[in-house]
Amino acid sequence: MKFLKLSSVVLALPFAIANPVKNVDFAHGQPSDGKLKGGPILGGTNHAIDLQNPDNLGRQSTDGGRVKSLKWSFSEGKTNIYNGGWIREQVITDLPQSHDIAAAQLHLRKGALRELHWHTTAEWGYVYAGRMLISAVDEHGNYTVDTLKEGDIWYFPKGSAHTIQGLDDENEALVAFDNGDFDASGTTFMVDDWIAHTPRDILAKNFGVDVSVFDDIPDKDPYIFNATSTTTPDSGPESGLTGPSSYIFHDSATKASVPIPGGGGHISIVDSRNFPISTTIAAAIITLKPGALRELHWHPNAEEWLYFHKGTAQATIFIGGGNSRTIDLVAGDVAVFPDNSGHYVLNTSPTEDLVWIELYKSERVADISLTQWLALTPPDIVASTLKISREVVDKLKKEKQLLLK
């Protein structure tokens, strides 16, 4: 009798599975092909994440080996909020495979300032909402004051003094740096932090003012704070930072557009060839039509860092030695494709454009198309290597298609 009572208690435990799990397949967030491979998750899991990442559950039979995590979401980061805005970052501790690039989403309200500062890294920025005022000074006393709108880009070389102000009611930009370990000590220097930690008599002597002038300097730098929108006009030719020396690239969508033979979308490339000051960060801004494919390719000169701004995507990254991994991506995600790794990006939406930004720690954007490579290689060699017919090889396009409908 005691044995029967104990059995009844065990069967009533919450861990017991009374009913079989229904809808056991990848589409329902379960690591199962719905046939023989895999099975339902019976323990704890974040079902929302599982549904959003079916390829993490083993959906692609062509994946192989072990590839470390290559994506992260800004939504997973700690958002720091201030009077006047907020910022949330992605650094190497968030995405350890991103060695070359760190980045942040920066939000400023009207008049709010990202305080005067400089870095040991170069800074690259892309305005995707509102308008921002950029002010910067180089080591020669050349300066720039300019208004940036959506689609405009800035680049501040290492050590350049600068600040950013929001001009519309709400303003936002992607900001990136050419060092994945951007949060390391000694990377960013704030002007009021420096002044607050300098003897007052030295400040008075340096600026030629009374010691009392600096009585209200904040003890802790505010990072972002509310201020009055500047009325200073944009700088003219006398500023020095114009032409090839300009820190600003306007109208990237039109001025940097490249031909797309494959007809699958739009690409703007902004690098040192059309933005000479930008010698350590090269960028591509891509819009991919619904269902379209960024063709199989790799980059010979740098690892690729990506920010997904709109839509949904799939990418498979091949790192050699039988190792590959497929990942699913949504707006707000960042990803990194290791140096020289083969990959593609697919727009998985049947109705919505996919928009993302690619960054490289390089002076230029460069890629090698798999199709073009095979098409320009002696066809008998390709046919023998891939065990395909010569006729198939002969039909491969010799021009990069880039984005395929």
Instruction: Point out the annotated binding site.
Output: 117, 119, 123, 162, 297, 299, 304, 343
What count of residues does the chain have? 405
d(CA 80, CA 119): 19
Averaged pLDDT, groups of 10, the chain, 405 residues long: 47 49 79 87 90 89 95 97 97 98 99 97 99 96 96 98 98 98 94 94 97 88 89 76 95 95 98 98 99 99 99 99 98 98 99 99 99 98 98 98 98
Per-domain residue ranges for the chain? Answer: 18-59, 72-249, 261-368, 369-405
Neighbouring C-beta atoms of residue 14, cutoff 10 Å? 4
40 burial (CB, 10 Å; 0-12 / 13-18 / 19+) is middle
Please tell me the distance from the alpha carbon of residue 219 to that of residue 196, in angstroms, as a whole number.
6
Q: Answer yes or no: are the C-beta atoms of 293 and 344 closer than 8 Å.
A: yes
What is the architecture, at CATH level 2, of domain 72-249?
A: Sandwich (2.60)
Active site residue 358: yes
Q: Do residues 173 and 134 make contact, with C-beta atoms less than 8 angstroms apart?
A: no
CATH code of the domain occupying 261-368: 2.60.120.10
Characterize 360-399 residue by residue with b for buried, 16 or more Cβ atoms within 10 angstroms of its Cβ, and e for exposed. Answer: bbbbebebebebbebbeeebeebbeeeeeeeeebeebeee
- What per-residue confidence (pLDDT) applies to 21? 59
Looking at residue 17, its pLDDT comes to 47
C-alpha span between 293 and 314 (Å, rounded) = 10
Contacts of 381 (CB under 8 A, 6+ apart): none
E strand spans, 303-386? 304-310, 312-320, 323-330, 333-337, 342-347, 354-360, 368-369
| Amino acid 9: pLDDT | 45
Could you tell me which residues are annotated as the binding site for Mn(2+)? 117, 119, 123, 162, 297, 299, 304, 343
Q: Measured between alpha carbons, how far apart are the two ends of the chain, in Å?
A: 71
Active-site residue identified among 115, 352, 358, 363: 358
Six-digit token string for 321: 């030695």
State residue 294's pLDDT score.
Answer: 99
Which SS3 state, helix, strand or coil, does residue 385 take? helix
- Domain 72-249 shares a fold with domain 261-368: yes
Q: What is the pLDDT of residue 151?
A: 98
Question: Looking at residue 19, what is its pLDDT?
Answer: 55
| DSSP string for residues in 5-46 | HHHHHHHHSTTS--SPPSS-SGGGT-SB-SSSSB----S---
pLDDT confidence of residue 22: 65
d(CA 116, CA 135): 9
Q: What is the pLDDT of residue 231?
A: 75
